[in-house]
Homo-oligomer: A and B are copies of this chain.
Amino acid sequence: MSDSCYDRLCALDREVAPLGQAMAVMGWDQEVNLPPKGLAARASALAALAGESHRRLSAPEVGEWLAGAEAEGANDEVAAANLRLWREGYDRRTKLPQSFVEEKSKVSSEAKMAWAGARKASDFALFAPLLEKQVELARRQSDYLGYDDHPYDALINLYERGMTTAKLRSLFGSFRAELAEIAAEAVERTKANPSREFTGSFPVEAQQQFNREVAESIGFDFEAGRIDTTTHPFCSGNAPGDTRLTTRYYDHDFSASCFGVLHEAGHGLYDQGLPAEHYPHPAYESVSLGIHESQSRMWENHVGRGLAFWQRWTQRAGELFPQLAGWTPEEMVAAVNRANFSFIRVDADEATYDLHIALRFEIEQALVSGELEVKDVPAAWNSAFKQSFGLEVPDDSKGCLQDIHWAMGGIGYFPTYTLGNLASAQLMEAAMQDESVASGYHAGDTLPLLAWMRERVHRHGSILTPDEIIQKATGKELSPDAFLGHLRTRFLG
């Protein structure tokens, strides 16, 4: 009997997976390809598919199958993970009414389009009505899901299991002061020791060539993925064998798209390393946004901004971009590790990045609790930014309109970036204890590092929890120690 319940849940996954794949491909397509007049039909189709998927996964008989499968128990750790995650998803889903899920999907499609227009025009008023809706939906979502302490808890939990507002406040509290000191000192040193500057034009085609070679060299499989161009870079794991990165190009600085690709390829390597044999069941899935971000940050920062990387790639960069001919790897490392208090999170250096996250974390909490109104977001943002970064935000496209997350309905998402930075440093520190990883790394070959991550992170999908992955891979719980140590070495060494 329970075998049969488990099998029914597996069959349900197979029935619903095509809807999930359709939503992933259509969501990617909406960012990359969709003509504007196609938005209305697309938004309504995505809302309907989300609703249909939700309806099937939250049907009463699913609850009965789950209870039956749980009564029988799991035969192995994969089945145990599936059971645990089916339960988590079912409980979460049955708390959200069908109409709510459809509304959120529709509002998110519309809000993304409004956001893109508002950002282009740097006009917050064009986005505000949709952000109002998203905040209101976030509050309703918290109410449906329930929380003990702060309505924001329920939202964080959607992205990082077991995380709370209080824990995050404590974590940020434990290192924000030290981070601010390191950042200020790093900015000082950058000012005192100016690096060489990138000059001239970096043609997009040459940037694409460079990025592709770099992505291939770190192991991204282009037979199972691709790179496209969007306003806001992302990585979409549509299905096994179909992992898509996007980036954006600046004519004056090739490194922005290069680090963008390293970042998204880090996400992509994780997706390409997930245990395809468990698709389309929950054990296949990536385990949390924090762990996902640990991988993107690793290839972007720990690999891409290191000396060994530029010992391998400086000459090639000089071939593709003649203005870089004659640069030394050390000059390149200095140029891509300048610390500055600047406006745009995704362009921020490692030393100041998490101060951007801390700011968003404060604003999100205040929006959700009602302490801050949407109309006051630009003023609140600009004031907090002045305080943390000492800079006046010149317009909202460089301020509160820079990120797509709120438009997507992802309130509660930002803190996972900082969790990822901490995990990234801790995993890297542990991996470098392995002789082959360390010697490869120093020779500009990160395939042993990838193999280490495949073995200890990627292949586990969601079979282990985020905590278990960190604990088993590094021998200790997540802490800011490795991250702060890394920043000190890199910026104050």
Give the distance to chain B from A272, nearest Cβ to Cβ, in Å.
9
Stretch at the interface among A15-23, A148-156, A458-466: A15-23
A41 near B239: Cβ-Cβ < 8 Å: yes
A38 at interface, CB cutoff 8 A: yes
Does A45 belong to the interface (CB within 8 Å)? yes
> A242 — nearest CB in chain B belongs to which residue?
B38
A222 to B38, CA, bound (A): 11
| Bitwise interface map of A from 213 to 235 toward B, beta carbon under 8 Å scored 1, else 0 | 00000000111111000000000
Q: Provide the bound-state CA to CA distance between A240 and B36, in Å.
A: 11
Among A38-58, those with CB < 8 Å from B are: 38-42, 44-46, 48-49, 52
Q: Do the beta carbons of B37 and A242 come within 8 Å of each other?
A: yes
Q: Which of B25, B49, B239 is close to A18, meaning CB atoms less than 8 Å apart?
A: B49
CB distance from A236 to the nearest CB of B (A): 11
A122 at the A/B interface (Cβ < 8 Å)? Answer: no
Min CB gap A145→B, angstroms: 26
From B14, B37, B41, B242, give the contact of A35 (CB < 8 A): B242
Which of A41, A221, A226, A240 neighbours the largest number of chain B CB atoms within 10 Å of its CB? A41
Does A4 interact with chain B (Cβ within 8 Å)?
no
From known contacts A18-B52, A26-B22, infer whether A42 and B239 are also in contact, taking CB-CB under 8 Å. yes
Q: Is A301 an interface residue (CB 8 A)?
A: no
Total count of chain A residues near the partner, CB < 8 A = 38
A238 touches B21 (CB 8 A): no
Expressed in whole angstroms, the Cα–Cα distance for A322 and B360 within the complex equals 54
Q: Which residues does chain B contribute within 8 Å of A15, judged by CB atoms?
A: 48
Taking CB atoms and an 8 Å cut-off, the chain A residues in 248-280 that contact chain B are 279
A139 to chain B, nearest CB (A): 28
A42-B41 Cα distance, complex, nearest whole Å: 22
Q: Which residues of B sit under 8 angstroms from A26, Cβ to Cβ?
A: 21-22, 25-26
Given contacts A22-B26, A52-B18, contact A35 B239 (CB under 8 A): no
A25 partner residues in chain B, CB cutoff 8 A:
22, 25-26, 29
User: Using a CB-CB cutoff of 8 Å, which residues 164-184 of chain A contact chain B?
Assistant: none
B37, B42, B52, B239: which contacts A38 (Cβ < 8 A)? Answer: B239
* B22:A221 contact, CB within 8 angstroms: no
Determine the distance from Cα of A33 to Cα of B29 in the docked complex, in whole angstroms: 10
A112 to chain B, nearest CB (A): 16
B241 and A40 form a contact (CB under 8 A): yes
**A372 contacts B by Cβ under 8 Å:** no
Give every chain B residue within 8 A of A38 (Cβ-Cβ): 224, 238-242
Given A45-B239, A48-B15, A223:B22 Cβ within 8 A? no
Q: What B residues does A346 contact at CB under 8 A?
A: none
A206 contacts chain B at the CB level, 8 A cutoff: no
Closest 9 CB pairs of A and B: A38-B242, A37-B241, A41-B239, A22-B22, A37-B224, A18-B45, A18-B48, A38-B241, A21-B45
Interface, chain A (partner B; CB < 8 A): 14-15, 17-19, 21-22, 25-26, 29, 33-42, 44-46, 48-49, 52, 221-226, 238-242, 279
Given contacts A17-B45, A41-B242, 9 further A-B pairs with CB under 8 A are A14-B48, A18-B45, A22-B45, A25-B25, A35-B223, A37-B242, A38-B224, A38-B238, A38-B242
